[in-house]
Amino acid sequence: MVEDDGNRAAGGLEGAALIADVVTRLPGRPGVYRMIDGKGDVIYVGKARNLKNRVSSYARGQGHNNRIALMIALTRSMEFVTTTTEAEALLLEANLIKKLKPRFNVILRDDKSFPYILIARDHAVAQLTKHRGARNRQGEYYGPFASAGAVNQAINTLQKAFLLRSCPDSIYDNRKRPCLLHQIKRCSAPCVGLISQADYDGLVEQAEDFLENRSQGVKEALAQAMEQASDAMDYERAARFRDRIQAMSFVSQHQGINPQGVEEADVFALAQEGGQFCVQVFFFRSGQNWGNRAYFPRADKGLDEAEVMQSFVTQFYDGKPVPKLVLLSHAVEDMALLAEALSAQAGLRVEVAAPQRGEKRALVDHALANAREANGRRLAETTSQARLLAGVRDVFGLDEPPGRIEVYDNSHIQGSHAVGAMIVAGPEGFEKGEYRKFNIRGEDMAAGDDFAMMREVLTRRFARLVKEEGEGQGKRPDLVLIDGGAGQLAAARAALAELGVSDVVLAGVAKGPDRDAGREHFYMEGKPSFMLEARDPVLYYVQRLRDEAHRFVIGSHRARRSRAIGQNPLDDIPGIGPTRKKALLQSFGSAKAVARASAADLAAVPGVSRGLAQMIYDHFHAGAA
């Protein structure tokens, strides 16, 4: 792959003239091109089998649809990357689109990594757990699953059926008696020896068989064991086998469609209505349905389904594992090229198909029906959201419905571990990728000073915004909601005034006298406080915004507090790693006891030299008389 920055046009040219100038210096090789506007933003990324031929089609300046004509007119410069093959160009194009999010490309939104079930084997007793991210633990991975909820439900069922431990190693190794999961019959308690290692390994093998769709033999073995226990009149043991069989059957019954001839595949179905695209993705592994998820890519309504499908699929698999089979509801322009690109990425042969009949077509039709239903729900929600935002405009005196609402709240316990939070909402609902949390840093702030905390949060947020806007970036809110009354509003207004920000509409939302939802008072500068009718949809909407901000800030506060609780004073001493820390705690019982110990007692701990013992002693006694 070669970057070719020399293919920029001479200064002063723009649009079709600029492209015509660039074409004269382009090679007839595969590659990726970027079209850039006057602000320096990439507005379109495309790939080509032959860069010269592809880009020259833009130089005509006529015969294009409105989208391409506008794209050409806005172009002020171009950049190119040549590649060895067209498949390589296709993968690079997807990577750049995800990274740069150009205005005129199809953009995959909500691009989170997928969760997996992991049976971890980096401990003598295997652990059943949820995993997301790099596969850096030893063990067997099963997935992907469509959502964390789907994984949690599957793990819950696996615990009932196979009684595998899910606790972290640190808890397992220090367990002295069975935990609650054993009491409710979801763990066999290997931690305290209530099951032998060999029997536990047998449960692990059964779980793996189940996850790999070899569950029939497991069910037959359990049924036979249940009969034997019943014949021996050990009805309690027989009931445990019965519950395990029922748990396995529950999964099979609630997976919906389970194909017989498709072992491993992802199914993509695209529906378009009202200028909105929905792509429904189903995951099938080991012949089982492991969930589905709906995506709503950003795409120009003038694009055809095949073009949206190809761009979506290539972006979808950027950085994600690819199955052996990919089924599409719409055939893309070059199926062989897409299969070649995905095969190169996966390191194995990947088949891409748009089936027309048989079981595979039934899978696609099932996904397509779900895509149409999800798109219909989204359109209804969008219409409702538009009405709500129009109501927000009227209530808060905006010129037009807000495109971006920011809501601020903070949380602390008597001033400790204080956290501020910002959530964002707009025409498409909550924009969770825009949420921000702020660890309150004000050292001279009085404990529990909510006004000072709000000033700090808004100062940091809007100082950054002013800087970003100076660089041609940043997203300014149309409305800012503060959780609080007149005092919080005054603190917020003062913070923005210091930064020279005066054109943002601010409003405070205070709960009623008894903190009752529905009796909120609204505060805005230059007008008396007011309330909304108890059943006003805008009131319900603002309550949802405030509750979401509260949920987010409470979660952030608890996470910060938990991290603080988990910290140990020994972690701050140079030279104290996990082994020495464990030795010190085993010798003295607690960090406080270590702090009270003499240098001589510290030196008696295995692995602690006299020099290190003196360093530990000095750390805890610095400044002592």
Mean pLDDT of 355-374: 93
In a domain, 258, yes or no: no
Per residue in 406-435, pLDDT (tens digit) is 999 887 655 456 788 899 999 888 988 899
The pLDDT assigned to 555 comes to 75
Cβ-proximal residues to 567 (8 Å cutoff; 6+ apart), any chain: none
pLDDT at position 458 over 80: yes
Mean pLDDT of 333-344: 92
Assigned token pair, 529:
């406080």
Round to whole Å and give the CA distance between 296 and 270: 10
CATH number at residue 21: 3.40.1440.10
Range of the domain at 524: 405-564
**Mean pLDDT of the chain, nearest integer:** 84
Alpha carbon 191 to chain centroid, angstroms:
33
Are 92 and 64 within 8 A, CB to CB? no
Sheet holding 2-4, edge to edge: 2-4, 77-82, 31-36, 42-48
Q: Beta strand 479-483 with 405-413: parallel, antiparallel or unpaired?
A: parallel
Question: In this structure, are 26 and 120 located in the same domain?
Answer: no
Question: In this structure, are 151 and 182 located in the same domain?
Answer: yes
Residue 484 vs residue 46, higher pLDDT: 46
Q: Beta strand 276-285 with 288-295: parallel, antiparallel or unpaired?
A: antiparallel
- Which helix (H) or strand (E) covers residue 547, if one does? helix 537-566
Alpha helices in 280-420 (DSSP H): 305-316, 335-346, 358-396
Round to whole Å and give the CA distance between 329 and 613: 69
Round to whole Å and give the CA distance between 72 and 610: 73
In a domain, 361, yes or no: yes
Distances (CA, A) of 446 to 120, 443, 450, 489: 47, 8, 9, 19
pLDDT at position 328 over 90: yes
In a domain, 363, yes or no: yes
Residue 150 vs residue 517, higher pLDDT: 150
Alpha carbon 61 to chain centroid, angstroms:
41
Residue 317 vs residue 445, higher pLDDT: 317
In a domain, 451, yes or no: yes
pLDDT at position 439 over 50: yes
In a domain, 211, yes or no: yes
pLDDT at position 384 over 80: yes
Per residue in 220-229, pLDDT (tens digit) is 777 777 887 7
What pTM does this model have? 0.69
Mean pLDDT of 307-330: 92
Domain count for the chain: 5
Mark which of 58, 74, 100 sits at the end of a domain.
100
Question: In this structure, are 551 and 436 located in the same domain?
Answer: yes
Question: In this structure, are 15 and 44 located in the same domain?
Answer: yes
Are 7 and 22 within 8 A, CB to CB? yes
Round to whole Å and give the CA distance between 226 and 237: 8
The pLDDT assigned to 278 comes to 94
The pLDDT assigned to 110 comes to 72
Question: In this structure, are 43 and 29 located in the same domain?
Answer: yes
Question: In this structure, are 413 and 519 located in the same domain?
Answer: yes
In a domain, 382, yes or no: no
Round to whole Å and give the CA distance between 213 and 196: 26
Query: Any idea which residue has 């006004």 for tokens?
Result: 451
Q: 418-450: b or e for each residue (b if 16 or more CB lie within 10 Å)? A: bbbbbbbbbeeebbeeebbbbebeeeebeeebb
Are 262 and 303 within 8 A, CB to CB? no
Per residue in 258-293, pLDDT (tens digit) is 666 788 899 999 999 878 899 999 998 877 788 889
Question: In this structure, are 544 and 416 located in the same domain?
Answer: yes
